[in-house]
Amino acid sequence: MNHLDFRVIDSHTGGEPTRTIVEGGPDLSCDPISGRPLSTVGEKLDCLREHFDGYRRALVNEPRGSEVMVGALLVPTHTHGCLQGVIFFNNVGYLGMCGHGTIGVMETLRYLGQIVPGKIQLDTCVGTVGVELHSDRRVSIENVASYRAASQIRLDLENLPTLMADVAYGGNWFCLVQCPDPSWLDRPAKDLLSLSDRILKQIRLQFPQVDHVELFGPPIDPMNDSRSFVLCPGGAYDRSPCGTGTSAKLACLAADGKLEPATTWRQESIIGSVFEASYEWLDRSQGHIAPTISSKAFVNADCRVIIDPDDPFAWGIHH
Ligand code: PYC
């Protein structure tokens, strides 16, 4: 086998990295075994997972990446009105949508001179996402329909007070917990990771689709409305406030009547970065909202990633 060679653009959104693969990705136009044409992003994702999962592992895992890295593979789209298809992935698998990643992709397309300020649509495996690049380089995402699936789920974990959780969808599935003690979010990240992991294991007994956990507490900056710690599926925590997680939070706030439509919610991350968010009702009786999430990304590398078949860690290190 020859070397594989990719052009990747690395960016970060509120501290959370996105590695956008702009050249060298696998051919996902048709199934490599049957030759069947693949038209939707969902079909391309299935093909990537089944036949080229090594690319995902090699591109985001150590030694070329880390458990924090989210990959974004740009793929052609046939969906009417969409400029670009995108498949998001991380160290352990694939993401439905990714808010910080979408903002990273938009800044990457701007950096490459492929977009100018204005609105476009991106095709993801969970649906079409409207995205606007503003003239100050901020990006606003009109995320997929988001909703709360369950509220006030009681979680009894050993040596902890009873926790009450919501389960909501914002392009990915989240378990949302308001910390009973405001100082919980001041604990070291390793303690928050282990607490979130315990919550994840417990909630998945009832809601196996959940793969992210959000812990909420008071913001550090009084300009903001809330601070969150977000556990991602691969065991890392989101350095950003998490775009899909903030969408899920808005769905809960809307369902509880705690936030009016078109009102800005400022979600602070555990490292102090902020996403501005608001929503409109899509279907009030069903609790479905259309969230908008805004922030900025910065490009920090434009490079070639090489996979050398003689490298014993060519396909990533598995911890
Ligand atoms: O911003 O939606 C997001 C996200 C998901 C996982 C990491 N970031």
Catalytic annotation on 30? Answer: no
Tens-digit pLDDT profile for residues 54-78: 999 999 999 999 999 999 999 999 9
Alpha carbon 9 to chain centroid, angstroms: 17
Question: Closest ligand 1 atom, CA of 100?
Answer: 1
Tens-digit pLDDT profile for residues 204-253: 999 999 999 999 999 999 999 999 999 999 999 999 999 999 999 999 99
Distance (Å, rounded) from C-alpha 264 to C-alpha 166? 21
Question: Closest ligand 1 atom, CA of 70?
Answer: 7
- The fourth-level CATH superfamily of domain 147-292 is Diaminopimelate Epimerase; Chain A, domain 1 (3.10.310.10)
Ligand 1 centroid to 247 CA: how many Å? 10
Q: Say yes or no to pLDDT of 1 above 90.
A: no
Residues 6+ apart with CB under 8 A from 63: 313, 316, 317
Distance (Å, rounded) from C-alpha 166 to C-alpha 256? 11
Smallest CA-to-CA distance from 69 within 13, 150, 109 is with 13
Q: Check 82, 125, 232, 242 and give the catalytic one.
A: 242
Which H helix or E strand runs over 202?
A: helix 189-203
Arithmetic mean of pLDDT, 131-151: 98
Q: Say yes or no to pLDDT of 261 above 90.
A: yes
Burial 43-73 (b: 16+ CB within 10 A, else e): bbbbbbeeebeebbbbbbbeebbebbbbbbb
At residue 88, the pLDDT reads: 98
* One fold for 4-138+299-307 and 147-292: yes
Ligand 1 pocket by Cβ (under 6 Å): 16, 70, 95, 98-100, 172, 232, 238, 240, 242-244
Catalytic annotation on 242? Answer: yes
| CATH classification (class only), 4-138+299-307 | alpha beta
Q: Say yes or no to pLDDT of 319 above 90.
A: no
Ligand 1 centroid to 238 CA: how many Å? 7
At residue 2, the pLDDT reads: 81
Every domain of the chain and the residues it spans: 4-138+299-307, 147-292
Arithmetic mean of pLDDT, 173-199: 97
Nearest CA to ligand 1 atom 8: 242
